[in-house]
Amino acid sequence: MIVGVGIDVVDVARFTATLERAPGLRERLFTAAERDLAPNSLAARFAAKEAIAKALGAPGGLRWHDVTVRRVVGRPPEVEASGTVAARAAELGVARFHLSLSHDGGIASAMVVAESDGAAADPA
């Protein structure tokens, strides 16, 4: 059962310029496993984190470091949720995230589907 869907796009040049102007932002937005990636990959991961938040209903209080997007050679990227993100996912009954990333023509994009194991989550 689909619990939520999220999508986001990021202008890579503008995102890169922002990271250059505010170097501390890289540490604030990305986990240690993500920080050293190329700018287009960072932009795609930022889009993924935004899309994940949207798939979870965009509640306040989600922390950037509570989600890591991991590249797995030969497979789709994986979402590793912890802390606030994992708690919100559990509250909604999310069992897994399906994530697609792309970057082309100066734009990075991410699309996320949050899926449950089939039983509807209690909306209360």
pLDDT tens digits for range 29-67: 999 999 999 999 999 999 999 999 999 998 888 999 999
- pTM tops 0.85, yes or no: yes
Quote the pLDDT of residue 60.
85
Per-residue pLDDT at 119: 57
pLDDT of residue 58: 87
Question: Do residues 106 and 11 lie in contact, with contact meaning Cβ atoms separated by under 8 Å?
Answer: yes
User: 61 exposed, middle or buried (CB, 10 Å; 0-12, 13-18, 19+)?
Assistant: exposed
Beta bridge partners of 94: none
Query: Which residue type, as a one-letter code, is found at position 95?
Result: A
What's the whole-number average pLDDT of the chain?
92
What is 2-115's CATH topology?
Ribosomal Protein L22; Chain A (3.90.470)
Please say if the pLDDT value at position 27 is more than 90. yes
- Residue 122 pLDDT greater than 70, yes or no: no
* Predicted local distance difference test score (pLDDT) of residue 118: 74
Q: How far apart are CA 28 and CA 112, in angstroms?
A: 22
Instruction: Please tell me what DSSP assigns to residue 92.
Output: H
Asked if 54 and 8 touch (Cβ cutoff 8 Å), the reply is yes
In the chain, what are the domain boundaries? 2-115
Model confidence at 100, in pLDDT bands (50, 70, 90)? very high
Q: Would strands 2-11 and 107-115 be described as parallel, antiparallel, or unpaired?
A: antiparallel
